[in-house]
């Protein structure tokens, strides 16, 4: 029985890790390390309720935990990072600079949004969730989730327009 639980959980994590990590990264404004911590925290919580929700909607549960934890995390001033003496060597990749620049620009703009607006925009437009599921993940009424998403998109447009237009 315990082995079946572990196999099902491991399969879910293996299949959805990349998408959930990207969601967490967007929710925390692009910080890879905070996103990893956030996702690990969410998956630990999922493990404890896995038998109850394995057949229902484990991904919706993780999204809800991620959105709420990201909002809590945004209120903290320090996350426990410590500087290191030497940075690790990174593998070289092909020329993907245009895609990286565009993604970085969007992530930087998302990072400027308040946590709940950022969560609403990411869940609604990146995850393509219906408004009802966004509201459930944020723990608020549908109208509030819709308002957060609308204001977040409007602010993103202003931020990205300011970056594009030349100053002078």
What residue ranges do the domains of the chain occupy?
A: 8-75+97-164
pLDDT confidence tier of residue 81, bands split at 50, 70 and 90: low
Chain segment 105-127, per-residue pLDDT in tens: 888 899 899 989 999 999 998 88
62: left (phi over 0), alpha (psi -120 to 50) or beta: alpha
Mean pLDDT, rounded, for 146-154: 94
Mean pLDDT rounded to a whole number for the chain? 83
- Report helix, strand or coil for 145: helix
Mean pLDDT, rounded, for 47-71: 86
Name the pTM for this structure.
0.54
Mean pLDDT, rounded, for 62-86: 73
In this predicted structure, what is the pLDDT of residue 87? 73
pLDDT confidence tier of residue 54, bands split at 50, 70 and 90: confident
Query: Over 90: is that where the pLDDT of 150 sits?
Result: yes
Give 8-75+97-164's CATH code, choosing from 1.20.140.160, 3.90.110.10, 1.10.2020.10, 1.10.443.10.
1.20.140.160
In this predicted structure, what is the pLDDT of residue 144? 94
Mean pLDDT, rounded, for 64-79: 73
Nearest Cα to Cα of residue 74 among 111, 36, 45, 123: 111
Compute the distance between CA of residue 113 and CA of residue 151 in angstroms, rounded to an integer.
9
């Amino acid at each position: 029985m315990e082995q079946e639980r572990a196999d099902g959980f491991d399969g879910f994590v293996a299949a959805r890790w990349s998408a959930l990590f990207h969601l967490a990264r967007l929710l925390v404004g692009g910080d890879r390390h905070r996103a990893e911590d956030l996702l690990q925290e969410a998956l630990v919580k999922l493990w404890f309720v896995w038998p109850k929700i394995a057949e229902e909607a484990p991904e919706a549960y993780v999204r809800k935990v991620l959105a709420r934890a990201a909002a809590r995390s945004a209120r903290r001033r320090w996350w426990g990072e410590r500087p290191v003496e030497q940075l690790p060597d990174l593998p070289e990749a092909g020329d993907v600079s245009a895609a990286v620049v565009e993604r970085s620009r969007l992530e930087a703009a998302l990072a400027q949004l308040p946590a709940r607006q950022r969560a609403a925009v990411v869940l609604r437009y990146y995850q393509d969730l219906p408004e009802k599921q966004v509201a459930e993940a944020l723990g608020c009424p549908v109208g509030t989730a819709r308002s957060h998403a609308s204001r977040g998109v409007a602010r993103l447009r202003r931020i990205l327009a300011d970056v594009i237009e030349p100053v002078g």
